[in-house]
Amino acid sequence: MTVNPVVAVLHAETVPDTALLASVAEHAEIRYTDSDGLATALAGADVLFVYDFLTDALPQAWHAAESLHWVHVAAAGVDPLMFPALRDSDVTVTNSRGVFDQPIAEYVLAQILSFAKGLPESLRLQREHTWRHRESERITGRTALVVGTGPIGRAIARLLTAVGMQVRGSGRRARDQDPDFGTVTATEDLPDALADADFVVVAAPLTEQTRNMFDADLFRAMKPGARFINVGRGDLVRTDDLVDALQSGELAGAALDVVDTEPLPPEHPLWDISNVMITPHNSGDFAGWRNALVDVFVDNFQRWRANGELENVVDKHLGYVPST
């Protein structure tokens, strides 16, 4: 570690609570910057804390990062930063894996229950002052396929299993007797795995291999009446194909926390499909989440300062933290 390190903190409108970074400020010079000043802040900086996790400013400022050793991202997904110069450099990248696992799992369960119990329709009838008896579905015994077997996918699997659902996983390699999924099918076998799933939950990282993976062919492979839940990235899905599958009835519904254009344009057809629930990329954003992200960085900074092993080191060529 550098004796007097410089830490650049990239933020947008929301600036991290400086009190939470006090222990870092005791041992380093902190430079707060927005995207316009990033190149200046990076000159001579040893560490970059990407608090603005939606930024696209780093590639343009990368020429100034000659002293940089480590980039920490305040997010689980690091796809916005995987540009060639960073990927091919010696700079270590870490993420904030673990902060959002359980909140996202709770979101997925809430959406499954919303579909099964018809809550949007109940709210609509209430607003119309209409008393109409209806039956609902049970989720016990229903099958969920979780696409993505990282920590978020595992948290989802554990919670859905706890409420009595039959859960399987889809990941890079097939395996049996997985502690959270039981059976994991390989990505190349995904069409067959989809055929038996009542709920398909997407929690995969965005990489060149997974971009646009859910297309018309995969939607046609799904079980009639299946519901689709995406808490991964919008670019995992060909949205036009998703719209067609919903409008044709191939899919019985979708819950989308992420879409391939964010914010979703007001004129987009997804807004007006009655069996679609859209949330603004906030499935993991519990009260206090921003401070929790700073805490992860502070903990890793103390490890870095002590020449210890950093947590959540990203394999820059895979695009995520490999599972142990």
Q: CA-CA distance, 221 to 66, in Å (whole number)?
A: 49
Give the pLDDT mean for 156-184. Answer: 97
Give the pLDDT mean for 71-88. Answer: 95
pLDDT above 90 coverage of the chain, percent: 98
| Contact between residue 51 and residue 44 where contact means Cβ atoms under 8 Å apart | no
Q: Residue 2 pLDDT > 90, yes or no?
A: no
Q: Which domains does the chain have, with CATH numbers?
A: 6-99+287-305 (3.40.50.720), 101-278 (3.40.50.720)
Residue positions annotated with a catalytic role: 233, 262, 281
| Contact between residue 193 and residue 145 where contact means Cβ atoms under 8 Å apart | yes
Structure tokens at 66: 């000659």
Exposed (0-12), middle (13-18) or buried (19+): which is 268, by Cβ within 10 Å? middle
Residue 235 pLDDT class (50, 70, 90 cuts) = very high
| pLDDT one-digit tens code per residue, 173-207 | 999 999 999 999 999 999 999 999 999 999 999 99
Q: CA-CA distance, 308 to 111, in Å (whole number)?
A: 40
| pLDDT one-digit tens code per residue, 127-150 | 999 999 999 999 999 999 999 999
Give residue 324's pLDDT.
52
Give the pLDDT mean for 50-68. Answer: 96
Give residue 323's pLDDT.
79
Give residue 3's pLDDT.
74
Give the pTM: 0.95
Q: CA-CA distance, 53 to 71, in Å (whole number)?
A: 12
Q: Residue 1 pLDDT > 70, yes or no?
A: no
* Residues sharing a CB contact under 8 Å with residue 257, sequence separation 6 or more, in sequence order: 107, 230, 231, 279, 280, 281, 282, 283
| pLDDT one-digit tens code per residue, 23-39 | 999 999 999 999 999 99
* Residues sharing a CB contact under 8 Å with residue 76, sequence separation 6 or more, in sequence order: 95, 96, 97, 99, 100, 151, 152, 284
Give the pLDDT mean for 69-91. Answer: 96
